[in-house]
Structure 1
Amino acid sequence: MIVDTAEGTWTVPTAHGVMIPPATRHRVRMLAATTSSLYIEPVAVPWWPPSCVVVEVSSLLRELLLVAADLPAAYDPGGRDGAIAALLLFELSTLGSLPLHLTLPASPDLVALCADYLGTPETRVTNAEWAGRVSMSERAFTRKFVRETGISPAAWRLRARLLAAIPMLRSQPVTRVAATPGYASPYAFSHEFGMSPSAVGRREAISRNR
Structure 2
Amino acid sequence: MKNVPLADVDHIDRAVLPIGTDYPPGHVLDWHAHRRAQFLYGATGVMVVDTADGTWTVPPERAVLIPAATRHRVRMLGVSTRSLYIEPDAVPWWPATCTVVDVPPLLRELLLAAVDFEVDYSLSGREGCIAALLLYEIAERAPLPFHVGIPAAADLAKLCREYLAAPDVGVTNAVWAARTAMSERAFTRRFRSETGDSPAVWRTRARLLAAVPLLRTASVSEVGGRLGYASPAAFTAAFTRAFGMPPSRFASSSGVHAGHDGR
Structure 1 length normalisation: TM-score? Answer: 0.87
- Distance change (3 Å), C-alpha of 1:203 and 1:19: farther
Instruction: State yes or no: 1:189 paired with 2:239.
Output: yes
| Structure 2 Cα separation of the partners of residues 204 and 68 of structure 1 | 34
Match of 1:5 in 2: 51
Match of 1:65 in 2: 111
- Counterpart among 125, 129, 153 of residue 171 in structure 2: 125
Larger helix proportion of the pair: 1
8 Å contact from structure 2 (residues 219, 255) kept in 1: no
8 Å contact from structure 1 (residues 2, 28) kept in 2: yes
8 Å contact from structure 1 (residues 14, 203) kept in 2: no
| Structure 2 Cα separation of the partners of residues 9 and 87 of structure 1 | 29
8 Å contact from structure 2 (residues 62, 102) kept in 1: yes
Aligned residues: 206
- Distance change (3 Å), C-alpha of 1:203 and 1:100: farther
SS in structure 1 opposite 2:143? coil
Please say which of residues 196-205 and 165-174 is displaced more in the overlay.
196-205
Which one-letter code corresponds to 2:207 in the other structure? R
SS in structure 2 opposite 1:36? strand
Which one-letter code corresponds to 1:20 in the other structure? I
8 Å contact from structure 2 (residues 215, 252) kept in 1: no
Match of 2:78 in 1: 32
Match of 2:32 in 1: none
| Structure 1 Cα separation of the partners of residues 115 and 161 of structure 2 | 35
RMSD value, Cα: 2.3
8 Å contact from structure 1 (residues 61, 88) kept in 2: yes
How many Å apart are 1:153 and its aligned residue? Answer: 0.7
Tell me the alpha carbon deviations over residues 35-54 of structure 1, each in whole angstroms, 9 at most, x when there is no partner.
11110111111111101111
What is the correspondence of 1:1-210 to structure 2 with a 5 Å cutoff?
1-182=47-228, 184-201=234-251
Tell me the alpha carbon deviations over residues 138-193 of structure 1, each in whole angstroms, 9 at most, x when there is no partner.
22211211121121111111111112221121122334423443452413313433
| Structure 1 Cα separation of the partners of residues 252 and 161 of structure 2 | 32
- Distance change (3 Å), C-alpha of 1:204 and 1:169: farther
| Structure 2 Cα separation of the partners of residues 137 and 131 of structure 1 | 6
Which one-letter code corresponds to 1:105 in the other structure? P
Unaligned runs of 5+ in 1: none
Larger strand proportion of the pair: 2
Q: Percent identity?
A: 57
| Structure 2 Cα separation of the partners of residues 114 and 198 of structure 1 | 27
How many Å apart are 1:24 and its aligned residue? Answer: 0.8
Which one-letter code corresponds to 1:195 in the other structure? M
| Structure 2 Cα separation of the partners of residues 71 and 57 of structure 1 | 20
More relative contact order, 1 or 2 (CA 8 Å, 6+ apart): 1
How many Å apart are 1:10 and its aligned residue? Answer: 1.2
8 Å contact from structure 1 (residues 178, 189) kept in 2: no
8 Å contact from structure 2 (residues 54, 149) kept in 1: yes
